[in-house]
Structure 1
Amino acid sequence: MMKFLTILNRLTKCLKIIFIRMKNHTLTTLLIITTILFSCKGEKKPDIRSVFNNSGFDNGNIDSTKNPCIDFDGFANGNWKKKNPLPATESRWGAFEILDRDNKVKLKNIVDSISKLPHLKSGSESQQIADFYRSYMDTITIEKLGLSSLDKYFERIDHIKDYTDWVNFSGELQKLGIPTFISYKVEADAHNNQMNILSLGQGGLTLGDKSYYALKESKNANLKDRMIRHIDIMYKSAGLKDVSPGSKIYELEQNVANLQLTSLMLRDQIKTYNKLSVPELSRIAPQFNWNGFLKAQGINTQTVVIEDRAYMSNLTSLLYKTPLTVLKLYTRWQLLSHFAPYLPQKYSNPHFAFFGTVMAGKKEQKSRIDMAIQELEQALGMPLGKLFVQRYFPEQDKQKISEMIENVRWVYHQRIDSLRWMSNSTKASAHKKLNTMTFKIGYPEKWPNYFGISIQPLRLIDNVIAVAVFHHNENIRKIDKPVDKTEWHSTPQTVDAFYDQYTNSACFPAGILQPPFYNHKADDAINYGAIIAAIGHEITHAFDDRGSKFDASGNLNNWWTSKDRHNFENLTKEYIEYFNQIEAQPGLHINGQLTISENIADLGGLTLAYHALEKSYDKKKQPASINGFTWQQRFFLGWAQMWHGNISPEALRNELLTNPHVPFRFRINGPLKQLREFRQAWKCNKRDSVNLNIKSIEIW
């Protein structure tokens, strides 16, 4: 009886509170009742955010002090950023990185279960996974072995007798994944995408991109000093007696960087497509033993594509004139730096201190287990991916995503028909390209075979080399062979999506088909603002400033009338200038031309997704507000949630200098301010126009 009276007394008090709050506030009645009754029951109050999670968006992330019309990222994600500071082990932290971390936890579970299995068959994928992981975790053996696994390569460098010998050995090292100033890739021929061809380009810079060698700012001068000191420290730790190796290597790299194309120049598919025979290449760069360089890598071909004739000619001339002692210094450094993460701590710790902290802004290394999973995924990602999708990817999601893609494709056809700046003849070609586009969802239909990679439980360096040589051989085997258009170039657990201009196909791995990108339990508007916009983004890549130069078959071929191309380029020029005005870091603006492809794709993806969502409601009653937000507003909240994130100043600088994507915040705010639908949804007015481009740029 006393228990009953106690409950009744609590209930009476709660009802009084409810009526008072209903009178004085406009919050959703159901939310108030639910929250108070839980507290009255004597239980812990539920996190209000969990109520909002049913919609697919956490309202606890919102900073209502911010004006959504001026800074939508600050409004939608302000509290999220405060609650999720950059972890010490990361240079950037957002939805992509958090989901990637969660996927790696799942991979760790898979590895743990495999490692417990007895009598793993030698050469099987399970044995390869288990023993690679063991070799990475066996730090006692790693410390004991020291540099011994690399001794034979250092000895080879010591015995290099002349320039030709150095060229040949550089080719051998490239088989192990060690960078040289001449990079290579095997891909579809841009003018005959049925066949693979060898493409040669630039590479080999310690700082990664020529922009770091060109900047005159004080921070870059400091970076130069830090790189030189780092090289000197690593040389000393390895017992190498060379005098001032850092300054000599930096000088060589700076001279090479001066010859390289900028990231912006590399975007020009026409100027960077130079097809010629190997004998012609030898005439352009006669001091370089091309036959020996290619043969050392196991490459047998008579036709190549090079990015830049001038680079190959000037580089090989520069290297020919460089003292052999300096070339050997550089080669030792690349060998040591490349394998440093797998060596004892006296090498791996300084390596992280420079590349992790100085270059990326990370304060701490990940745990050994986390690094082991990361390296294992790099080495044996596909075998792991096969197990990942078996355990964690619902097959029905594949069908659902397929349906979503077709809905977006249908809306894109409508958008093409409604374009006022494009003629009917070009529209017909655009429709053809859209119709022939194919999609890879979840995981590959045919899994690659990793049989033949010899993995040992106690030899990490040897395992890393074995994997590198295997992938190198698999890659060069494709040269001058037909393109396999079903092949996947990413693992299923990857948190990203891709468009391939050569095969006119888009790929959506299982890794990204999870919340907050896709949540089958979430409100439609949130999903459309996220995964549907992402699908639209990849489809739009077929029609961005680069993809639009490839036809429906995936060949570099003009399918536009000259007037239509002119109209398109005028629109893209406006969008370039719009982003050029944004100062993303003191002294550094967004490079609108470098990022234009991704910016076009974001704008197109949002436009497609919004109108696809609007169409889905045509024959239905307009959905009610959820948590005070209309479906239009929830759509844009879904977009903002997908791109929320924090980033270190060092990583932000790197992105602004080299990345074709704009950083988190501007990926959210940038395209939204071009959309009339956004301004209407949030009732933006002229007082908010300080940062708004009232004349919307509409491309697709």
Structure 2
Amino acid sequence: MKSAAFRAAALALVVTLAGCKKEKEETDATKVPGFDVSSLDSTAKACDDFDTYANGGWKKKNPIPGTESRWGAFGILDKENKEVRLKGIIEEIAQAKDRKKGSEEQQIADYYQSFLDTATVEKRALEPLKPYLDKINAVASLKDLAAVAGEMQKVGVETVTGFGVEGDLRNSKVNILYQGQDGLSLGERSYYDRTDSSTVKVRGEFVKHIDKMFTMAGFTDAKPGQTILDFETKLAKLQLTNVELRDPVKTYNKMAFADFEKLIPDFDQRTFADKQDVKTDTLIVQNKPYLQNLNKLLKATPIATLKLYTKWQLLSRFAGFLPKKFDQEDFRFFATVMRGTKQQKGRVERAIRSTDGLLGMPLGKLFVKKYFPEEDKKKVSEMIENVRSVYGERIDKLTWMSDSTKAKAHKKLKAFTYKIGYPDKWKDYSSIEIAPDKLFENVIAASLFQHKEQVEKIGKEVDKKEWLMTPQTVNAYYNPLNNEVVFPAGILQPPFYNRNADDAINYGGIIAVIGHEFTHGFDDQGSQFDDEGNLKNWWTASDRANFDKLTKRYIDYFSGIEALPGFKINGALTIGENVADLGGLTLAYYALEKSFNGKEPEPIDGFNWKQRFFLGWAQVWHMNTTDEALRNQVQTDPHSPARDRINGPLPHLKEFQAAWSCGAGSKMVLPDSARVVIW
């Protein structure tokens, strides 16, 4: 059950940086500066390239570690949260004695131990996969394949289609089954049709990777890599692009399950659903033509090829939990070839991250006890209300929106709710059987638990208190179905939120992030949902046309930015995040100005508050990135590269030009006619 693939929530930040202190009392030595002036590159000009000016010094001092594909505020805090803080929590639990069976402590300690028990993993070889391989080998028809694929979906093995459970976009109070396209190993259809040399090389390495995995597994299939690439290439041509998938109206096709079956009659969807314990008479289909064309493709494809593809998906899904040679080859292709990561993390670090991946909420409960001061929750609440107030003022001043639509925008803004730090109620994970010497079975048990949890939601009321992220996650999100913004404890640390920093730095950091999340409620996707979280038009036709003209100009602007030679930013894919960045900066700037009540603070380190505000924004996104990761991001990620998240919105802000006294001919300045101001 691939719930995440069908979420309507547009997650706002890929990751970020920070660190709440264990003790409330801090010494001068432990205080994190608001902005470290050694991060600057004084040879660059702020008005020509603000990222290099603000972060050039930092970039020179912080090369990408071999274990990473990109390195910045994001990765630094993520590493601190997981490889230091969670590691300490896990190892303390692991050393304790007499852990009660079924307790969170027992599950955490035993899963961690099972991941570290490489001797058992090596000894068992591919034996854990045998029951699944036997079922694949026994497939003789498309109906057989549907049954086997459905069973394997329960443990996360992909196939050409998938189910997910979310709130109904047009009735957000009730959960419903969604169906969507799936099954591309390279993640996005552009990888299958681009003709540039780097993408062609990736496809060649993909073929070699599959061939090697099959050889190591002892499989005797002829040319498995090329066969699978050829099949996935045909599959990719049938799928919607990642830009087309952004349209919630186009991808909302509610129908009876019986009618859904008729769209793809030769791949038995009833059997596919039954094997996943899915019971429903109604669902929402992502793309009808895809299913009809998929049916033709499956009928025209030899059953031997489909079995080969299914075997590959099984092997790929569990490669990280198999003997070292499979794990390393999986890393070589997906991490090194695809993203430029040179070195795999150590087994202990990976054990921590794997434990966090499967038992993140139980770990989160322990994390916030130790590292999230409650006073920060109150402070962030105040910040959110400040942003809400300023957003309302910005709506009132809009010249392109009518009064009737403004009234509804205010209604939606007022209805915004928020979650801070961690859930009020923790889920019960005690039914998951975890043993210290059965890594594969532990992964299966956790996967089945998650699948069962999703399936049981179908037709039931949406739990508005549920969190889509763990507390230790360095991220934040807006969920349009709940009309809520969510800030896990993991992000509420420097440089986003630094209790020791001046207001200008914090407003350029956490307040801009809060404003970013609020703006998601009014971006190209979020603006299509009303105050109750339903996909419903609340705009006049002329106001929507005005909004679309503004966003089209911003799409064209970002589409003109080349991230790497031959790889331009996809403005249509990144428009939601780009609009949210522009809105977040605008809201934060005016919230900061309002907070001074006409009494401006003294400069710090030679920078006035306006300049420090933008320095705060820049340090949030400072990052070094491999070329491979950058190419992958441009093709698959709705977020623009870090450099362009910093520099991209600034030429549209007169406030930036004034702060740095930029002349009209500066590279970071646009003429008024070219500036885009939305919110």
Question: Same fold per TM (> 0.5)?
Answer: yes
Letter of the structure 1 residue corresponding to residue 647 of structure 2: N
SS in 2 for 1:593: helix
Letter of the structure 2 residue corresponding to residue 631 of structure 1: W
- Give the superposition deviation at 1:316: 2.1
Counterparts of residues 580-619 of structure 1 (less than 5 Å): 580-619=559-598
Query: C-alpha distance in 2, partners of 1:222/1:575?
Result: 32
**Higher Cα Rg, which structure:** 1
SS in 2 for 1:359: helix
Query: C-alpha distance in 2, partners of 1:513/1:249?
Result: 44
- Give the superposition deviation at 1:180: 1.0
Query: C-alpha distance in 2, partners of 1:131/1:493?
Result: 21
Residue 490 of structure 1 corresponds to which residue in structure 2?
Answer: 469
User: Of residues 74, 86, 102 in structure 1, which corresponds to 2:52?
Assistant: 74
Greater relative contact order, per chain length (Cα 8 Å cut-off, separation 6+):
2
Residue 20 of structure 1 corresponds to which residue in structure 2?
Answer: none
Is residue 432 of structure 2 the alignment partner of residue 453 of structure 1? yes
Residues 652 and 669, structure 2, Cα contact 8 Å, conserved in 1: no
User: Of residues 307, 311, 329 in structure 1, which corresponds to 2:290?
Assistant: 311
- Flag the 1:566–1:52 CA change in 2: closer, same or farther, 3 A: farther
Residue 101 of structure 2 corresponds to which residue in structure 1?
Answer: 122
Residues 264 and 292, structure 2, Cα contact 8 Å, conserved in 1: yes
Residues 186 and 197, structure 1, Cα contact 8 Å, conserved in 2: yes
User: Of residues 645, 655, 675 in structure 2, which corresponds to 1:667?
Assistant: 645
Residue 62 of structure 2 corresponds to which residue in structure 1?
Answer: 84
Counterparts of residues 229-378 of structure 1 (less than 5 Å): 229-378=208-357
- Residues 439-494 of structure 1: CA deviation (Å, up to 9, x unaligned): 01000011111121000100101111110111011011101111111100110000
Query: C-alpha distance in 1, partners of 2:256/2:100?
Result: 45
Query: C-alpha distance in 2, partners of 1:222/1:623?
Result: 55
Residues 157 and 328, structure 1, Cα contact 8 Å, conserved in 2: yes
Residues 438 and 506, structure 1, Cα contact 8 Å, conserved in 2: yes
Q: Report the count of equivalent residues.
A: 650
- Runs of 4+ off more than 3 Å: 50-55, 689-695
- Mean CA deviation greater in 218-227 or 595-604: 218-227
Query: C-alpha distance in 1, partners of 2:521/2:384?
Result: 14
Letter of the structure 2 residue corresponding to residue 470 of structure 1: F
- Residues 39-82 of structure 1: CA deviation (Å, up to 9, x unaligned): xxxxxxxxxxx999765100000001111111100000001111
Residue 655 of structure 1 corresponds to which residue in structure 2?
Answer: 633
Residue 201 of structure 1 corresponds to which residue in structure 2?
Answer: 180
Residues 651 and 668, structure 2, Cα contact 8 Å, conserved in 1: no
Letter of the structure 2 residue corresponding to residue 95 of structure 1: A
> Structure 2: which 5+ residue stretches go unaligned?
1-27
Residues 663 and 669, structure 2, Cα contact 8 Å, conserved in 1: no
- Give the superposition deviation at 1:649: 0.7
Residue 195 of structure 2 corresponds to which residue in structure 1?
Answer: 216
Query: C-alpha distance in 2, partners of 1:70/1:571?
Result: 25
Letter of the structure 1 residue corresponding to residue 39 of structure 2: N
Query: C-alpha distance in 2, partners of 1:271/1:138?
Result: 48
Counterparts of residues 3-82 of structure 1 (less than 5 Å): 55-82=33-60
SS in 1 for 2:665: helix
Letter of the structure 2 residue corresponding to residue 476 of structure 1: V
Residues 538 and 605, structure 1, Cα contact 8 Å, conserved in 2: yes
SS in 2 for 1:595: helix
Residue 161 of structure 2 corresponds to which residue in structure 1?
Answer: 182
- Flag the 1:243–1:449 CA change in 2: closer, same or farther, 3 A: same
Query: C-alpha distance in 2, partners of 1:55/1:562?
Result: 49
Query: C-alpha distance in 1, partners of 2:432/2:462?
Result: 24
SS in 2 for 1:311: helix
Is residue 421 of structure 2 the alignment partner of residue 442 of structure 1? yes
Query: C-alpha distance in 1, partners of 2:295/2:671?
Result: 48
Letter of the structure 1 residue corresponding to residue 264 of structure 2: A
Letter of the structure 2 residue corresponding to residue 94 of structure 1: G
- Residues 207-240 of structure 1: CA deviation (Å, up to 9, x unaligned): 1111100101122222221111111111010111
Residue 616 of structure 2 corresponds to which residue in structure 1?
Answer: 638
Residue 17 of structure 1 corresponds to which residue in structure 2?
Answer: none
- Flag the 1:693–1:209 CA change in 2: closer, same or farther, 3 A: farther
SS in 2 for 1:258: helix
Letter of the structure 1 residue corresponding to residue 593 of structure 2: E
Query: C-alpha distance in 2, partners of 1:584/1:291?
Result: 45
Query: C-alpha distance in 2, partners of 1:569/1:579?
Result: 15
- Mean CA deviation greater in 556-565 or 158-167: 158-167
Letter of the structure 1 residue corresponding to residue 370 of structure 2: R
Residues 70 and 692, structure 1, Cα contact 8 Å, conserved in 2: no
User: Of residues 532, 547, 562 in structure 2, which corresponds to 1:568?
Assistant: 547
Query: C-alpha distance in 2, partners of 1:644/1:56?
Result: 14
Percent identity at matched positions? 54
- Give the superposition deviation at 1:171: 0.4
- Give the superposition deviation at 1:578: 1.1
Residues 274 and 307, structure 1, Cα contact 8 Å, conserved in 2: yes
- Mean CA deviation greater in 155-164 or 258-267: 155-164
Q: TM-score, normalised by structure 2?
A: 0.94
- Flag the 1:113–1:428 CA change in 2: closer, same or farther, 3 A: same
Query: C-alpha distance in 2, partners of 1:693/1:508?
Result: 36
Letter of the structure 2 residue corresponding to residue 602 of structure 1: D
User: Of residues 490, 494, 498 in structure 2, which corresponds to 1:515?
Assistant: 494
Residues 72 and 668, structure 1, Cα contact 8 Å, conserved in 2: yes
- Give the superposition deviation at 1:689: 4.3
Letter of the structure 1 residue corresponding to residue 641 of structure 2: P
Residues 440 and 505, structure 1, Cα contact 8 Å, conserved in 2: yes
Query: C-alpha distance in 2, partners of 1:589/1:369?
Result: 38
User: Of residues 110, 123, 128 in structure 2, which corresponds to 1:149?
Assistant: 128
Letter of the structure 2 residue corresponding to residue 530 of structure 1: G
- Give the superposition deviation at 1:694: 4.3
Query: C-alpha distance in 2, partners of 1:215/1:54?
Result: 45
User: Of residues 589, 606, 610 in structure 2, which corresponds to 1:628?
Assistant: 606
RMSD: 1.3
- Residues 564-594 of structure 1: CA deviation (Å, up to 9, x unaligned): 1111111111111111111111011111111
Letter of the structure 1 residue corresponding to residue 185 of structure 2: T
Residue 384 of structure 2 corresponds to which residue in structure 1?
Answer: 405
Residues 650 and 668, structure 2, Cα contact 8 Å, conserved in 1: no
- Give the superposition deviation at 1:306: 1.1
Residue 168 of structure 1 corresponds to which residue in structure 2?
Answer: 147
Query: C-alpha distance in 2, partners of 1:484/1:653?
Result: 38
Q: TM-score, normalised by structure 1?
A: 0.92
- Residues 529-572 of structure 1: CA deviation (Å, up to 9, x unaligned): 00000000000000111100100000011111111111111111
- Residues 327-357 of structure 1: CA deviation (Å, up to 9, x unaligned): 1111111111111111111111111110010
Letter of the structure 2 residue corresponding to residue 656 of structure 1: V
Residue 96 of structure 1 corresponds to which residue in structure 2?
Answer: 74
Query: C-alpha distance in 2, partners of 1:81/1:184?
Result: 42
Residues 647 and 668, structure 2, Cα contact 8 Å, conserved in 1: no
Residues 52 and 59, structure 1, Cα contact 8 Å, conserved in 2: no
User: Of residues 107, 116, 128 in structure 1, which corresponds to 2:86?
Assistant: 107
